[in-house]
Amino acid sequence: MRLVQTLWARLLNRWSHHPAIDYVIAGLTTLALAAWQRHHILTHHSEDQRMNIYATAASVAAIVGGFGTAAISQYATSSGRRMAVLRELYGHQLRRNWVGLLTSMLIVSGGCLAVMIIDTKSKLGWPGWLVESLIAFGFCRALRLVWLFRLLIDVSDHDAGSSNRGTTIEVLDISGD
């Protein structure tokens, strides 16, 4: 069990320090699906359904990118001993992760919208593979965003419970209820 935990920690550490791995994961996922299914995921969808899928994928990617900006704001405004150590030791990797997240969500949104523009046929060829890889890539980056949020929340929670932050402000209920 200890070996599995050590291997998992090393894998997570490598993944967290190298955001470009998400490109590889998305590419391998697309290739695996291509080998398994022999066609892209949009093959059996009508043109109207494909347009809805493109619009939905672009919208979701934009929303996830918005969550990324919230995480950046939380990082920028957090203070405390543990956050200071996190910034000092891993600030470069965290910034690289966030820039990669925001950039990738623009790529996913823009790519889906570009395919929406060029999809004018009843059959979809290579753009279907592009959308499939964009969706896989967006999913990988959304997982990375969840990891970043959890990291920041854990650090902020720890710093908030720290004894060197001062006293907690007590809020009195003055509503009269």
Query: CA-CA distance, 81 to 143, in Å (whole number)?
Result: 27
pLDDT at 175: 52
Query: CA-CA distance, 37 to 25, in Å (whole number)?
Result: 18
User: Which stretches in the chain have pLDDT values below 70?
Assistant: 162-177
Q: Which long-range contacts (CB under 8 A, 24 or more apart) does 19-28 make?
A: 19/96, 19/97, 19/100, 19/101, 19/144, 20/100, 22/100, 22/104, 22/137, 22/140, 22/141, 22/144, 23/137, 25/136, 25/140, 26/133, 26/134, 26/136, 26/137, 26/139, 26/140, 27/133
Query: CA-CA distance, 114 to 46, in Å (whole number)?
Result: 18
Q: How many residues does the chain have?
A: 177
pLDDT at 7: 85
pLDDT at 168: 44
